[in-house]
Amino acid sequence: KKIIFSGIQPSGAMTIGNYAGALRNWVKLIEEYDCFYCVVDMHAITVAQEPAILRKNTFEAVALLIACGVDPEKCALYIQSHVPAHAELTWVLNCNTMFGEARRMTQFKEKSSRHPENVNVGLFDYPVLQAADILLYQTNLVPIGADQKQHLELSRDLAIRFNSRYGETFAVPDAYIPLKESGGRIMSLAEPEKKMSKSDANENAYILLTDSPEVIVRKFKRAVTDSEARIAFHKTKPGVSNLLSIYSVFAKVSISEAEKQMQGLGYGDFKLRVADAVIAALKPIQDKYSRLVGDKEYINKVLDEGAEKARYAARKTLSKVYRKIGFYSTK
């Protein structure tokens, strides 16, 4: 049976980009495979966090994942810092990662120019921790959005290098990414040349999974399009294309079907149709979320069980790694 791993940062609410690029595939893959799904609080602290807010965001992220359909009965759902092997394997991988290859990571360059006041060593090491997350579980497939492709490539490179240096140790993971036009890369509603991101300063740029119907309508109404009045998926029309992508994901139709359904509409009505599809798809998620977020006892139980499963699987790989690299053991 194939093994799946993926992670999400608890940095505030999640966007429809997170859902379209990754979460909906987490849910899909859960039915068939052994899945490990992780809220990566250790990654989150590579940018400054307010402790009380990080704690709250982490709890809420878990509730929201379950509400999205990440059924904890069918996977290991847990918090990264509850499984010490993530940090332990990172150290070993650090010593097998070249400074130059870490420096090439575009997300590091981007984040360090966005936060010049806090270019910490953890931010530089972010992709190595991500590789440790993945390689610890002998992962075969990693459901992620297109922006994580380079990090996944690094994980593969590190696995291949380690295996050839020390003998077969890690499975070499493959990325599982939707096509860009089918949700792999949802763009900002305000600047459709940019990725939709929850860290955007302009809150009209993104739709949160927890946004109310009124807010969703308002944000879509303000979405940037173009001056053509033609609804078509085309690279010269990034705003309209992005709206078609979003509609295609949330109404569960192909891009060409989406184009067909929108033919003849003005942009105003088109935007409302997209908003309606998103609102309808998010309704059951939001209902479930508001029930779960009050049930701390249940969430804590899920997390304890998830961490236990993950610790067991992670220990196996870490022991193997320690043996291969020559760490002394009394066993």
Of 46, 97, 140, 148, the one binding ligand TYM (CB under 6 A) is 148
DSSP class of residue 78? E
Region from 18-26, 93-101, 258-266, 282-290 binding ligand TYM, contact rule CB under 6 A:
18-26
Q: Is 6 in the site for ligand TYM (CB under 6 A)?
A: yes
* Site residue total, ligand TYM (CB under 6 A): 26
Q: Is 142 in the site for ligand TYM (CB under 6 A)?
A: yes
Q: 């953890």: which residue's tokens? A: 122
Of 83, 134, 158, 189, the one binding ligand TYM (CB under 6 A) is 134
Q: Phi-psi category of 252—alpha, beta or left, where left has phi over 0 and alpha has psi -120 to 50? A: left
Distance (Å, whole) CA 130 – CA 107: 13
Q: Which residues contact 204 (CB under 8 A, 6 or more apart)?
A: 189, 190, 219, 222
Region from 12-20, 240-248, 278-286, 297-305 binding ligand TYM, contact rule CB under 6 A:
12-20
CA distances to 35, 81, 138, 182, 188 from 3, in Å: 6, 21, 7, 24, 32
Which residue from 14, 36, 17 is spatially nearest to 26, judged by alpha carbons?
36
Q: 């599809």: which residue's tokens? A: 277
Contact letters (x/-) for ligand TYM, 175-204, by CB under 6 A?
Answer: ---------xxx--------xx--------
The 10 Å Cβ neighbour count of residue 300 is 12
Region from 3-11, 52-60, 113-121, 156-164 binding ligand TYM, contact rule CB under 6 A:
3-11
Q: Is 145 in the site for ligand TYM (CB under 6 A)?
A: yes
Cα dihedral across residues 249, 236, 214, 39: positive or negative: positive
User: Least distance from C-beta 200 to ligand TYM, angstroms?
Assistant: 10
Q: Which amino acid is at 79?
A: I
Q: Is 30 in the site for ligand TYM (CB under 6 A)?
A: no
Q: Is 144 in the site for ligand TYM (CB under 6 A)?
A: yes
User: Least distance from C-beta 273 to ligand TYM, angstroms?
Assistant: 21
Region from 20-28, 236-244, 249-257, 266-274 binding ligand TYM, contact rule CB under 6 A:
20-28
Query: To 5 degrees, how large is the angle CA 41–CA 193–CA 60?
Result: 25
Q: Is 57 in the site for ligand TYM (CB under 6 A)?
A: no
Question: Which residues form the catalytic set?
Answer: 111, 195, 198
Q: Decide: residue 328, CB within 10 A, 0-12 exposed, 13-18 middle, 19+ buried.
A: exposed
DSSP class of residue 19? I
Chain residues that interact with ligand TYM, rule: CB under 6 A? 5-9, 17-18, 20-22, 40, 43, 130, 133-134, 142, 144-145, 147-148, 151, 184-186, 195-196
